[in-house]
Structure 1
Amino acid sequence: MVRLIFRLLFWLKGWKVKVHPGVDVNKLKKSVILAAPHTSNWDFVFSVAGCRQMGVKLRFAIKQSWMKFPLNIAIRPMGGIAVDRSDASKRKNKTALVDAMADLYKERDELCIMIAPEGTRSLTKSWKKGFYYTAQRAEVPIALAYLDYKNKVAGIGKVIYPSGDMDKDMVEIMKFYQHITPKNPELFALDRRYAKELAK
């Protein structure tokens, strides 16, 4: 039923979904789904709708305190999954949240968590790297999902398995997203550290 609703949404808005050659959705049952560019509230709606139509059931991490009654009634069906951030705040340990995220994968047979690496809809030139460390520690692939507003396409264009050489992998990610048109282009920028490598 939910998938039918999302198909209707895409039909009304003139959008379509695309899984690029070489991408096997069946191998993404446990993965980190990278969501970029992120410049509008519509991004969440189209990302969930597009992935559901491709057979990928997205989840998104949210503070444990938000998953209490009555908010959990609405958040859980949308894909919300609670993450305990208390250790990170008490110990001021930057890796605690990554560990908590990685543990979620170990506890489940299937889990696809959507992460927006920009961390904000506002313009930023430094992407957060938590998604990479999470995928690395959980030993799951990173699927590069995207929303191309110019062509009205939601898709998964590439899958990257963390090699341990984050700089190399991040350059590959930048290469992919440099050609995607966001809803608000003025609010999107590649990570400046790795974007420099594209000009060489």
Structure 2
Amino acid sequence: MQRTIFDTPIIRDVMPGVSKMLFKLIGWKVVGDFPAIDKYVLIAAPHTSNWDFPIGLAICFIGGKKVFWMGKHTLFTGPLGPLARWLGGIPVDRRKSNSLVEQMADVYRNSTKLIVTVPPEGTRKKVEKWKTGFYYIALQAQVPIVLGYLDFKTKSGGCGKVFYPTGNIELDLQEIQQFYQGIRGKNPENQ
């Protein structure tokens, strides 16, 4: 995978402390630890606000984890493109029907360590059902899904349980989504 902000020594060494201080100032806390697993899909839910990204990034700094994320391809154009890549972004063109799941599963198979965060809603807007790409990436790559969350009601975020997909997507999604009951995004009307 590409070099990211986490590869920069000053950022890697300074940002955990800065993030902890910032969290203390704004009243947020990290709950739980990142699992000691080399490869997994980290789902991020609920995803209702632009604030999800900086708060999630701070949690990654505090946890000392190098986490990649997939974003709309338009985020990677113009002057912000290099910054988005440096922050661990992987551009995704949602207009094209391509083999994103297979491509990401191959990336996992060819990596010794890899964490990619995926918001299952796929957008900050209200959706009727989750996109399932995160599930099929984990299933094909034979890696677990870690249930990451941001709860704006309690000002807490972190990693919940580690979930191993069984291939029965209907039952698995019920169990995964049950974990998120009671967790409130910044804009709960978009959940």
Q: TM-score, normalised by structure 1?
A: 0.79
Size of the alignment, in residue pairs? 178
Distance in 1 (CA, whole Å) between partners of 2:100 and 2:145 is 18
Unaligned runs of 5+ residues in structure 1 are 189-200
Deviation at 1:125, TM superposition (A): 1.4
**2:21 pairs with 1:12:** no
| Matched residue SS, 2:36 | helix
Q: 2:52 matched to 1:48?
A: no
* Aligned twin of 2:180: 177
* Distance in 1 separating the partners of 2:65 and 2:128: 29
Structure 2: unaligned runs, 5 residues or longer:
1-13
Compute the displacement of 1:61 (Å).
2.3
Which structure 2 residues correspond to residues 163-174 of structure 1 after superposition, within 5 A?
163-174=166-177
Aligned pair 1:112/2:115, yes or no?
yes
Q: CA deviation at 1:178?
A: 1.0
1:51 partner letter: C
| Match runs of 1:118-137 below 5 Å | 118-137=121-140
- The within-5 A match list for 1:140-179 is 140-179=143-182
Secondary structure of the structure 2 residue equivalent to 1:113: strand
User: How far did 1:12 drift?
Assistant: 1.7
Seq. identity, %: 44
Task: Provide the aligned C-alpha RMSD in A.
Answer: 2.3
Displacement of 1:14 = 0.8
Distance 1:51 1:166 in 2: 28
Instruction: Spell out, residue by residue over 1:69-111, the C-alpha distance to the aligned partner (whole angstroms, 9 max, x if none).
Output: 854531232111356x69x93xx45xx1111111111222111
- CA distances 1:42-69 after superposition (whole Å, capped 9, x unpaired): 0111112113312332111246786578
Contact 1:25 1:54 in 2 (8 A): no
- Post-superposition Cα deviations, 1:161-199, rounded to whole Å, max 9, x if no partner, equal 1111111111111110012011111111xxxxxxxxxxx
SS at match of 2:147: strand
Residue 37 (str. 1) matches residue 37 (str. 2)? no
